[in-house]
Amino acid sequence: MNWYYANAGQKAGPIEESQLDALRQAGQINDETLVWCEGMANWQPYGKVRQPAPPGTAAQIPGAGGSGATTSGINETVCAECGRIFPIDSTIQFGEVRVCAGCKPIFMQKLAEGAKIGGGLSYAKILTRFGAVFLDGIILAAMNMLLGFTVGGLTFMQAAGAQPADRVGVQIGLFFLQLTIGISYEVIMIGKYGATLGKMAAKIKVVTAEGGKVTYSRALGRYFAKMLSAAICGIGYIMAAFDEEKRALHDRICNTRVITK
Ligand SMILES: [Zn+2]
């Protein structure tokens, strides 16, 4: 269980429950310190949450979410944007969350851009994704064509008298070289930047379901999962249009999402 606590007006954590208790024992926090963990509706004073409370105090209400929740009985709340603590009357309510005055402009802009409140992900539209895939296709085709011409030219000059079998060997070698380029392009770009050049141009990126960075190994897995999406007549790609989180088949397999930046 990850706990958060208020420290000098800032949200600190996540820390383990044992660490939280250790902080209390060390006197770093006291019974009045506001704490929160996943599943709690509100930030609560430590003393109320961590010591035996009579039934009905409802310190823990599962599944009620927590960001920006108000603290009951205490006129303080946590800004959903910056995570700092403010007097409740200096914050502005937006739906279920509250933000501080300082964060209001950023928050309003995010709302206008269609981002979900409370740190949710804004999934990329399927047409935008197709645009990015198309652009990457052009980039890779150009690279492969250049490579093909180079290899072809060299073969022609150096091995004008070569046997047909050698030429087949060159073709197979070229195929694997191009495949390697295709894989490296995708894995390195996604692993390092979260986006290929096409996706960068379309201002979208690949993230994990939680919005985190995609590792190189997951990017590699996703490359092969994309082959599957393409192999079934592209249906794997089209699936994104009918998914609530705009997941293509390869996103489902690798548990990734494509979001707008
Ligand atoms: Zn704020």
pLDDT in tens, 113-134: 665 544 567 899 999 999 999 9
CA of 11 to the centre of ligand 1 (A): 11
Q: Which pLDDT does position 115 carry in this prediction? A: 56
Q: What is d(CA 56, CA 42) in angstroms, rounded to the nearest whole number?
A: 15
Count CA within 13 A, CB hemisphere, residue 175.
6
Q: Which pLDDT does position 161 carry in this prediction? A: 64
CA of 37 to the centre of ligand 1 (A): 19
CA of 106 to the centre of ligand 1 (A): 9
CA of 128 to the centre of ligand 1 (A): 32
Q: Which residues surround ligand 1, an ion (CB under 5 A)?
A: 79, 81-82, 100, 103
CA angle 261, 115, 200 (to 5 degrees): 10
Name, in order, each residue with C-beta under 8 angstroms of 213's C-beta and a sequence gap of 6 or more.
Answer: 194, 207
CA of 4 to the centre of ligand 1 (A): 16
Q: Which pLDDT does position 119 carry in this prediction? A: 52
CA of 34 to the centre of ligand 1 (A): 17
DSSP string computed for the chain: -EEEEEETTEEEEEEEHHHHHHHHHTTSS-TTSEEEETT-SS-EEHHHHHS---TTS----TTS--TTPBPSSSSEEE-TTT--EEEGGGEEEETTEEEETTTHHHHHHHHHTTPPTTS---BPPHHHHHHHHHHHHHHHHHHHHHHHHHHHHHHHHHTTT--HHHHHHHHHHHHHHHHHHHHHHHHHHHHHHSS-HHHHHTTEEEEETTS-PPPHHHHHHHHHHHHHHHHTTTHHHHGGGG-TT---HHHHHHTEEEEE-
Reported pTM: 0.53
CA of 104 to the centre of ligand 1 (A): 7
Q: Cβ–Cβ contacts within 10 Å for residue 231, how many?
A: 10
CA of 23 to the centre of ligand 1 (A): 26
Among residues 79, 73, 72, 106, the alpha carbon closest in space to that of 93 is found at: 79
CA of 117 to the centre of ligand 1 (A): 13
CA of 84 to the centre of ligand 1 (A): 6
**Residues in the chain where the model's pLDDT stays below 50:** 53-72, 117-118
pLDDT above 70 covers a percentage of the chain that reads 84
Q: What is d(CA 14, CA 36) in angstroms, rounded to the nearest whole number?
A: 10
CA of 86 to the centre of ligand 1 (A): 8
CA of 22 to the centre of ligand 1 (A): 29
CA of 186 to the centre of ligand 1 (A): 37
Q: Which pLDDT does position 21 carry in this prediction? A: 82
